[in-house]
C-alpha cells in the first residue's frame, strides 16, 4: 500500500506536470471568458472584444495592479532591512530548542507578519525558516527542515483578512465598487461609495476568525513538531539543504565620500524622506479621526504603501541600501506585472457582456441566503488554484460577489471577507507563492506539502465553522 509520502510526492509532480504557469492559466481563462460571453447571446464577438479591451486597460484597475506590486515589493524590501533582520535573529534564538518549539515560533511570527503585510510575511517567514534550518545544522540540533519551511509559509493563510488584503483595501477606496461596472449597474439600490475596513478587516468577527486560525495553526505545528521524525528531518537537512549565512541586512559598500556618496550612502536624505512619508500617513490618519469619523476610511492601498515606503527608508537608513534591497525584491513582482492586465480583461468581459448576471444568477439559484457566504468561500478557494493572485482574483470574482450578495440581500462586507478567506485558504494547496520560500530555504515542494496540507484541513474547518456561526449571528 502506498505511503502518505508517496501520495504527496505524486501530488507535487502532478502540479508540476499538469498545471501550467499562472500566466498560461490567465490566457486560458481569457479564452473561456470569450467563449462563455459569446455563448450567452452576445451580438457577435465585437461587443466581447470591446468589453475585453475596456477592462484590459481600465485606468482604475491598472492603478490597482501597481498598488499591489508596490505593496509586495516594499514588504520584501522592509524584510531585508537591518532592524527586521535583528528582530528575526531574536526569534531564532527563542526558537532553537527542538522541532516542536521552533515550528510553533516560526509559524506564529509568520502568521503575525503576514497579517500585517503579505510581502513582509512571505519573505520574513522564509528568511526566519532559513535561519532556523541553518542554525540547527551548525548546532547539530534535531530540527525537521520541511516542517520549519512550512511554518514560515503560514503568513499566506491570513494575509487577505489582514492589513494588506486586496479586496478589503480596494473596496475601501471611494468609487472602486462602481468602477467594476463601467456600463453602470441597473439596481434599485445603488452601490455604496466605499466600504471601510472598519466593516471588514477591523470587525470583531474577522478578528475572532483570524485569531482562531492563528491559534489552531500554532497548536497544529506544536503537535506536528512532537510527532514528526526529527532525526529523519535532520538527515534530509544534511543531505539536501545547503547552508547559507544567517540573515543579513543589505549594507552599502564603504568607499570615498564624494557629494554623490554623501547623498546616496548618508542618512540625511533617506531619513528625511522616510519621516515625511510616515509623518504624512500619520497626519492623514489623525485628520480622518478629527473629522468625526471612526470608520478608518483613510486605510487604503495608497496609505498602506505610504507607510511601508516611509518605514523602509527609515529602516535601511540610506538611499544606497534601499536601492540594493529593491534590486533583490523587484523580481517577486514580475508575475503580477503581466498577469494583472489579463485578469482585468477577463473582468471586463464578465461585467461588460452580461456574463456576470448569468454566473451570479447560477450561484444564487444554487444557494440560499444562509449558504451564500459558504458558496463564495468554496468557489474562491477553488478559483485561487487557477488564479493565485488575490488582486487578480478580486478583479475576476469581485463583480460576481457583488451581484450575488445584492440579489440575496446579504451584507456585501460578509461576501467580500468570505471571498478573502477562500483565497488565502487554498494558498496551502497552491504552491505558486511558496516558490520564493523554496528558493530562499533550499527546500523542495514535497518537503513542505505534508504540513501545508495539514494546515489546509485545520484552517478549513475553522473557516467553515466560523462562517456558519457568523451566518447564525
Distance, CA of 283 to CA of 286 (rounded, Å): 5
Q: Quick one: pLDDT at residue 315?
A: 92
First to last CA, the chain: 46
Cα–Cα distance, 348 to 342 (Å, whole number): 10
- Give yes or no for a contact between 409 and 368, defined as CB atoms under 8 angstroms apart: no
| CA torsion, ordered 222, 228, 230, 234, to nearest 10 deg | -120
Provide the grid cell at 374: 459558504
- Distance CA(19)–CA(231), nearest Å, equals 34
pLDDT of res. 238: 40
Instruction: Supply the pLDDT for residue 353.
Output: 80
In a 10 Å sphere around its CB, with 0-12 CB exposed, 13-18 middle and 19+ buried, how is residue 407 labelled?
middle
Q: Residue 19: enclosing H or E segment and its boundaries?
A: none
Going by C-alpha positions, the residue among 417, 433, 419 that lies closest to residue 381 is: 419
Percent of the chain with pLDDT over 70: 80
Residues 10-53 pLDDT 10s: 665 665 566 676 678 778 888 988 888 888 766 778 888 888 99
Give the pLDDT score at 297.
Answer: 64
pLDDT tens digits, one per residue of 158-212: 999 998 898 998 898 888 888 777 655 566 567 788 898 989 999 999 999 999 9
CA nearest 178: which of 196, 164, 195?
195
Could you say which residues of the chain have pLDDT below 70?
1-19, 21-22, 41-42, 140-141, 182-189, 229-257, 288-297, 332, 335-336, 356-357, 360-361, 364, 386, 388, 431-432, 435, 472-473
Three-state DSSP at 191 gives coil
What tens digit of pLDDT does each residue of 451-460 get? 898 899 999 9
> Long-range CB contacts (< 8 A, 24+ apart) of 432-436?
432/22, 432/388, 433/122, 433/153, 433/156, 433/388, 434/153, 434/156, 436/122, 436/123, 436/126, 436/332
The reply to whether the predicted model has a pTM over 0.85 is no
- HSE at residue 371, side-chain half, CA atoms within 13 A, is 9
Instruction: Report how far residue 170's alpha carbon sits from residue 181's, in angstroms, rounded to the nearest whole number.
Output: 14
Distance CA 58, CA 341 (A): 9
Residues in the chain: 473
DSSP structure class, residue 353: S
What pLDDT does residue 236 have? 44
Q: Are 350 and 400 in contact (CB under 8 A)?
A: yes
- Cell representation of residue 192: 455604496
Amino acid at each position: 500500500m502506498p505511503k502518505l509520502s508517496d501520495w504527496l510526492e505524486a501530488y507535487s509532480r502532478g502540479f508540476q506536470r499538469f498545471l501550467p504557469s499562472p500566466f498560461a492559466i490567465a490566457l486560458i481563462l481569457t479564452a473561456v471568458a470569450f467563449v462563455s460571453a459569446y455563448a450567452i447571446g452576445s451580438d457577435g464577438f465585437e461587443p466581447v472584444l470591446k468589453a475585453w479591451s475596456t477592462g484590459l486597460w481600465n485606468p482604475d484597475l491598472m492603478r490597482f495592479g501597481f498598488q499591489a506590486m508596490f505593496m509586495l515589493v516594499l514588504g520584501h524590501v522592509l524584510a531585508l532591512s537591518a532592524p527586521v533582520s535583528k528582530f528575526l535573529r531574536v526569534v531564532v534564538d527563542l526558537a532553537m530548542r527542538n522541532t516542536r518549539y521552533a515550528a510553533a515560533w516560526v509559524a506564529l511570527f509568520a502568521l503575525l507578519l503576514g497579517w500585517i503585510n503579505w510581502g513582509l510575511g512571505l519573505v520574513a517567514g522564509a528568511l526566519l525558516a532559513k535561519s532556523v534550518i541553518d542554525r540547527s545544522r551548525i548546532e547539530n540540533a534535531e530540527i525537521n527542515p520541511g516542517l520549519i519551511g512550512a511554518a514560515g509559509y503560514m503568513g499566506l493563510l491570513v494575509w487577505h483578512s489582514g492589513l494588506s488584503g486586496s479586496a478589503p483595501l480596494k473596496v475601501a477606496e471611494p468609487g472602486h465598487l462602481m468602477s467594476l461596472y463601467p456600463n453602470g449597474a441597473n439596481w434599485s439600490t445603488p452601490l455604496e461609495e466605499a466600504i471601510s475596513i472598519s466593516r471588514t478587516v477591523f470587525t470583531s468577527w474577522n478578528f475572532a476568525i483570524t485569531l482562531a486560525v492563528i491559534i489552531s495553526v500554532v497548536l497544529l505545528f506544536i503537535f506536528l513538531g512532537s510527532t514528526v521524525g526529527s532525526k529523519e528531518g535532520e538527515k534530509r537537512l544534511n543531505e539536501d539543504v545547503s547552508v547559507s549565512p544567517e540573515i543579513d541586512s543589505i549594507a552599502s559598500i564603504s568607499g570615498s565620500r564624494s557629494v554623490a556618496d554623501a547623498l546616496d550612502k548618508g542618512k540625511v536624505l533617506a531619513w528625511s524622506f522616510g519621516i515625511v512619508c510616515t509623518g504624512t500617513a500619520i497626519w492623514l490618519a489623525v485628520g480622518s479621526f478629527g473629522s468625526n469619523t471612526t470608520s478608518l476610511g483613510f486605510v487604503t492601498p495608497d496609505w498602506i504603501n505610504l507607510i511601508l515606503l516611509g518605514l523602509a527608508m527609515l529602516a535601511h537608513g540610506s538611499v544606497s541600501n534601499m536601492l540594493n534591497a529593491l534590486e533583490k525584491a523587484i523580481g517577486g513582482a514580475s508575475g503580477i506585472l503581466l498577469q494583472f492586465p489579463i485578469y482585468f480583461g477577463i473582468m471586463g468581459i464578465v461585467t461588460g457582456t452580461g456574463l456576470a448576471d448569468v454566473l451570479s444568477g447560477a450561484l444564487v439559484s444554487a444557494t440560499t441566503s444562509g449558504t451564500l457566504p459558504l458558496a463564495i468561500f468554496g468557489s474562491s478557494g477553488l478559483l485561487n488554484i487557477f488564479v493565485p493572485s488575490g488582486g487578480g482574483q478580486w478583479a475576476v470574482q469581485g463583480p460576481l460577489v457583488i451581484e450575488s450578495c445584492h440579489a440575496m440581500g446579504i451584507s456585501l462586507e460578509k461576501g467580500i471577507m468570505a471571498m478573502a478567506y477562500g483565497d488565502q485558504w487554498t494558498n496551502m494547496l497552491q504552491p505558486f507563492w511558496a516558490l520564493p520560500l523554496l528558493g530562499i530555504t533550499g527546500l523542495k515542494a514535497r518537503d513542505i506539502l505534508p504540513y501545508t496540507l495539514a494546515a489546509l484541513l485545520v484552517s478549513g474547518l475553522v473557516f467553515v465553522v466560523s462562517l456558519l456561526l457568523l451566518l447564525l449571528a
